[in-house]
Chain A
């Protein structure tokens, strides 16, 4: 099955309200249910992205770079029959798609 890279994108004006502890409990439960539902598709749960730097052949030029972590919250890898199915898996993930964030789903082409 083809694999897909999912990048969580923070959208402009995405100023989602901080969840309350009770809502976190709910999110935790929903996330668990989602993981159960798609456990066959979830290849790598990935994680959040932190600081990074551009490595080039020349000594690294001084920026300015757009900080990756400002745009991308985190990544994961899912396997699916098609791009459409991969999008479905990502879309149903609680907290990934919502006000202020979206997911970019990219096919990983292996020769």
Chain B
């Protein structure tokens, strides 16, 4: 008996994404359900067959052939879709086994990217776009998505069905995207990838492997986008830079028991130097041209943190500058709050408070632990113990998880060094 061959990490999930993308381009995105069924069945056949007879020389081609035949078998049976059959008969007949593979090689990356743009249809709500991308491009099942996004399975189903309804409504063979469609949808594509990343980065899931997964998926897809003519642009480079720069510090954000660590408590030696280098090279690439996006500002902040030899030696003037730019490009109260924290490091707690002086935070922020915790910290450092303790109590009450509560207690009760939510993606509070 031969030793079973090892398959690449996430082989089944990634093949799922590639096959769904390729087959739905050929059949039409309106057949997404049949496509997904065919791919699922092909993967099951692979599991059954490869464990007994070994992995074929070209597993991707093997899967494609099985899924392709399964799909067209199904479509053939749907008599009302006879017209599609006729259009594709030649292809089925002309696709002998050995010709599938060379045909695939150059095409699958394009198809994956194309499917990402199909997902980012303006008629599909953003939260449905994200779930759809996780389902069909990353190969996650409903319960796996629910676990990773901290939402119910019912909610995942609801979001998915909205997206699928839209895909099914696309007229046959008219879902091909024209060049201008790619350009139009590019910002939405970047946004989805950004969301996918921050969902992983800010996740309070106890297992670090699960937290890392969404970040890794976002980086994988953004990398394809940034290296492809339809997606390469300074903004995409900046997005990829910020992902790598944050990702470099992902492991260091937690202690051995899953507790959160403040930036100043993190062991900088455990930051991933290789990731930082990759991030910085994308950041350099993003400087081409005169575009300065929110991704540039966020990547700039992340880079400052990665490059600072110690917390104290952080170039807070640069961080403040980037937050000010970020506030201008993408006005948000959370950016102002982060700027206040950075200003407090640069010019002292009173200057930090001055940034927030007279500022009315929106309800979602005023009711979040972050806002209250920053006030508690700044007031304490200004010597106003009474005001500080009021905010401190409130912050601990508002803490969403035990890990956050612990970090707040440690920070607001004992520590004298500065706390900073600076340099993290800011979506947690939105």
Contact with B140, one of A20, A31, A47 (Cβ below 8 angstroms): A20
Q: Is B47 located at the chain interface by the 8 A CB criterion?
A: yes
Chain A interface category by residue count: 20 to 34
Interface residues of A in 33-58 (CB under 8 A from B): 35-36, 39, 42, 45-48
Residue in B4, B10, B12 whose beta carbon sits within 8 Å of that of A32 in the complex: B4
In the complex, what residues of A have CB within 8 A of residue B51's CB?
A: 28, 31-32, 35, 45
Evaluate contact between B40 and A22: CB separation under 8 angstroms.
Answer: no
Identify A22's interface contact among B1, B6, B12, B52, CB under 8 A: B12
CB–CB B13/A21 < 8 A: yes
Chain B interfacial residues counted at CB < 8 A = 25
Whether A28 and B141, one on each chain, are in contact in the complex, defined by CB atoms closer than 8 angstroms, is: no
Would B144 and A20 count as touching, CB distance under 8 A? yes
Give the total number of A-B pairs whose CB atoms are below 8 A apart.
63
* Complex interface: chain A residues within 8 A of B43 (CB): 21, 24
The one of A23, A28, A48 that contacts B7, using a Cβ cutoff of 8 Å: A28
Q: Which residues on the A side are within 8 Å of B40 (C-beta)?
A: 18
Contact check, B144 vs A22: say whether CB atoms are below 8 A apart.
Answer: yes
Whether B79 sits at the interface, judged by CB under 8 Å, is no
Q: Taking the complex as formed, is A27 at the interface, i.e. its CB lies under 8 A from any CB of chain B?
A: yes
B103 interfacial by beta-carbon distance below 8 Å:
no
**Which of chain A's residues has its CB closest to B16's CB?**
A21
Bound-complex Cα distance A98 to B139 (A): 24
Give Cα distance in the complex from A20 to B12, angstroms: 9
Q: Does B150 contact A (CB under 8 A)?
A: no
- The answer on a CB contact under 8 Å between B52 and A45 is yes
Which B residue's beta carbon lies closest to that of A76?
B52
B7–A25 CB distance below 8 A: yes
Q: Which residues of A contact B47 (CB under 8 A)?
A: 24, 27-28, 31
Shortest Cβ gap from A94 to chain B (Å): 9
Q: How long is the Cα–Cα vector from A7 to B3 in the complex, in angstroms?
A: 23
A24 and B1 contact, CB distance less than 8 A: no
17 example contacts (A-B, Cβ-Cβ < 8 A) are as follows A19-B44, A20-B139, A20-B141, A20-B143, A21-B141, A22-B13, A22-B139, A22-B144, A24-B47, A25-B7, A31-B4, A31-B47, A32-B4, A35-B51, A42-B1, A47-B52, A48-B48
Which B residues are within 8 Å of any A CB, using their own CB? 1, 3-4, 6-7, 10-13, 15-16, 40, 43-44, 47-48, 50-53, 139-141, 143-144
7 extra interchain contacts, Cβ-Cβ under 8 A, other than A21-B139, A45-B1? Answer: A20-B143, A22-B144, A24-B43, A25-B10, A28-B4, A35-B1, A48-B48
The chain A residues found within 8 Å of chain B, CB to CB, are 18-25, 27-28, 31-32, 35-36, 39, 42, 45-48, 74
